[in-house]
Amino acid sequence: MPGFELFGAEEKKEVQDVLDNGVLMRYGFDGNRNGHHKALELEKDLATRMQTDYAQVVSSGTAALTVALACAGVGSGDEVIMPTFTFVASFEAILSVGATPILCDVDDTLTLAPGAVEALITDKTKVVMPVHMCGSMADLKAMKAICKKHNLILLEDACQAIGGTYEGKPLGSYGDMGCFSFDYVKTVTAGEGGGLITNSKLYADRAHQYQDHGHDHIGTDRGAETHPFLGYNYRLSELHAAVGIAQLRKLDHTLALQKKNYTLLRDALTIIPEVTFRRVPDGGEESYAFLTFFLPDKESAMEAHKALGLHGVDACFYWYYNNWHYYKKWEHLLNPTSLHKLSEEQMQGLQKNNSSYASSDAWISRTVSCLIKVGWSDAEVQERASKMVKALQSVFIIN
């Protein structure tokens, strides 16, 4: 999955352009740029690739979510429904705009369960935020129907799933807004960075202003710009954007490599009857960033994860006890601990979150995911497949 596996001359050229003209900041200094506006170029390329009218690049995936929520008018007193299985950035972004994250059970897609979402909707709910974890998606058709029924915003956190599709649309483009991460271990990396896509001119206009201190960007004198509203600094540097440009151009190639390696490994595991696979909703195609599968129960999943390591299969994850990605280790959220004071509305809203989510536990406790790398040779993939089969068979032969 990591785009850094494909770093090469293309990235160096784009970065050298920036170093040659000496302007590392996105805005201003137009006379020195020699026509290079890397962040703007990345935005145009991202919108084209994701088949949306607009794109805004920012400093991280977390920033992308934060800007998206702010542009949708989400804030104090509002609630955002999000899954129990995600990265901590999902709830950090919600809290940062003054809203409250409401945790929701996942199903065998490993993201939001539609029935569980609908059960959590109140008059304070403003957004439903499915997170397309490990390269695959929620049942977006059901999510969109729920949002339409209740007049809610559908915000796709596609930070781990760039390149996947649903009903022919790139992930991130199906809802009202979609967000990506371009950090170092993502399929498309800028080292650090993120992106927001939308077909809404209103959201797009707000986004380019909000991510740059509220500047309206009218005219050529940055010091004379006005501020229609408060904003913050979530800008992406020209250096990071330069890397992102080269990486995004490689996306189709990267996806093809991921799919090839994923398919070989998955096919190898089909001989093990105890292994079943994560459900990809009808009409969806994942990005093949991870091979995610279920074992019969928690105990066999833990043993399988251990056995994979003992057989030399690296980059495999057992999420149930993972520190960053599953609610069980989010003590700082479940028992709110913050350096700055959270609002009374947030504190009250956070009390709705439980210490136990049985449906999520039933799926995540059985789940193992293995990263798909794009730098493997064919021989290395074959060797990995053999090791994975032997490791998993060893669990069930012993039992």
Helices of type H across the chain: 9-21, 38-49, 61-71, 89-96, 114-120, 140-150, 201-210, 238-249, 251-269, 298-310, 331-334, 344-350, 358-364, 378-398
Residue 220's pLDDT band, with cuts at 50, 70 and 90, is confident
Mean pLDDT across the stretch 361-377? Answer: 97
Q: pLDDT higher for 2 or 231?
A: 231
Q: Give the pLDDT confidence of 61-90 residue by residue, as tens digits.
A: 999 999 999 999 999 999 999 999 999 999
Mean pLDDT across the stretch 21-35? Answer: 93
Q: pLDDT higher for 220 or 41?
A: 41
**CA dist 268 → 27, 265, 275, 390, 392 (Å):** 51, 5, 11, 10, 11
- What is the per-residue pLDDT for 91? 98
Q: Determine the Cα–Cα distance for residues 177 and 151; give it in Å rounded to an integer.
A: 15
The predicted model scores a pTM of 0.97
Residue 90 has which token pair? 């999902």
Residue 226 has which token pair? 């006005």
Residue 374's pLDDT band, with cuts at 50, 70 and 90, is very high
DSSP conformation class of 133: G
- What is the per-residue pLDDT for 1? 66
Share of the chain above pLDDT 70, in %: 99
Residue 354's pLDDT band, with cuts at 50, 70 and 90, is confident
Mean pLDDT across the stretch 379-383? Answer: 98
- What is the per-residue pLDDT for 195? 98
Q: Give the pLDDT confidence of 316-341 residue by residue, as tens digits.
A: 999 999 999 999 999 999 999 999 99
What SS3 class is residue 356?
coil
- For 299, left (φ over 0), alpha (ψ -120 to 50), or beta? alpha
Given a cut of 80, whether residue 46 has pLDDT beyond it is yes
Q: Give the pLDDT confidence of 98-118 residue by residue, as tens digits.
A: 999 999 999 999 999 999 999
DSSP conformation class of 237: P
If we measure between CA atoms, which residue out of 344, 180, 242 comes closest to residue 21? 242
Given a cut of 60, whether residue 398 has pLDDT beyond it is no
Mean pLDDT across the stretch 246-270? Answer: 98
Given a cut of 60, whether residue 399 has pLDDT beyond it is no
- What is the per-residue pLDDT for 316? 98
Given a cut of 90, whether residue 397 has pLDDT beyond it is no
**Catalytic site residues?**
186
Other Cβ atoms closer than 10 A to 207:
27
CA dihedral 383, 389, 395, 398 (to 10 degrees): -100
Q: Give phi and psi for 177, each to the nearest 5.
A: -150, 155
Q: CB–CB of 129/155 below 8 Å? A: yes
- What is the per-residue pLDDT for 223? 83
DSSP conformation class of 80: E
- What is the per-residue pLDDT for 355? 81
Query: In order of start, what are the domains of the chain with their CATH numbers?
Result: 3-250 (3.40.640.10), 252-398 (3.90.1150.10)
Instruction: Please state the three-class secondary structure of 39-72 as a single string.
Output: HHHHHHHHHHHCCCCEEEEECCHHHHHHHHHHHC
60, with CB counted inside 10 A (0-12, 13-18, 19+), is buried
Given a cut of 70, whether residue 7 has pLDDT beyond it is yes
